[in-house]
Amino acid sequence: MGRPVKSSKLVGTGYHTGTKHASALSGKIAVTAYRPYGGSKVDSVVSYIVSQRSSTKFKIHLEDSTESVYQLKAVAPGSLSATNSSSLGEFCVQVILNDSTVAYVEKFYNRTIHYVTAASATGTATYTLGAEGTDETQAGSGAASIDVR
């Protein structure tokens, strides 16, 4: 697995509005959508990453206030699979690159992420946790913003 992501890197300083849980959810990496194994896709407004279990497996907080281990996939929400070889549910995390391109996280590291865009372009970027719009001031390419809850 390599070195795990520091737990402090899984928590940001942003503030998510639009839900009754806004104050309790501030600062966690937002889960864009998830699909339980054998279930249907859930477009999430309150789900977030709790902790890392392996390089692609994370414990996430779900819509129904339970927590479960899911596998990170670098795909759009509609492409999450209901079945896979790991018998785990799947989830995705959307990232906005500094040129406003939408991408999905393939792997988290302490300061960077590997991502895949809708056009199947891959890359590495340093990331910040916060609302969209905070990354435009970062100079050069290779910067990204991940929403928080």
Contact of 68 with 60, CB cutoff 8 Å: yes
CA distance 43 to 63: 9
CA distance 22 to 47: 11
Q: Minimal CA–CA distance to 102: which of 149, 146, 51, 56?
A: 146
Angle ∠(32,11,105) on CA atoms, nearest 5: 40
Which three-class secondary structure state does DSSP give residue 10? helix
* Confidence at 148, pLDDT banded by 50, 70, 90: confident
Domain boundaries, the chain: 7-146
pTM of the model: 0.82
Amino acid 5: pLDDT: 75
Q: For 101-113, what is the mean pLDDT? A: 92
Amino acid 126: pLDDT: 92
Contact of 129 with 143, CB cutoff 8 Å: no
For 47-78, write each residue's pLDDT tens digit.
999 999 998 999 999 999 999 999 999 999 99
Locate 30 and state its tokens.
């937002």
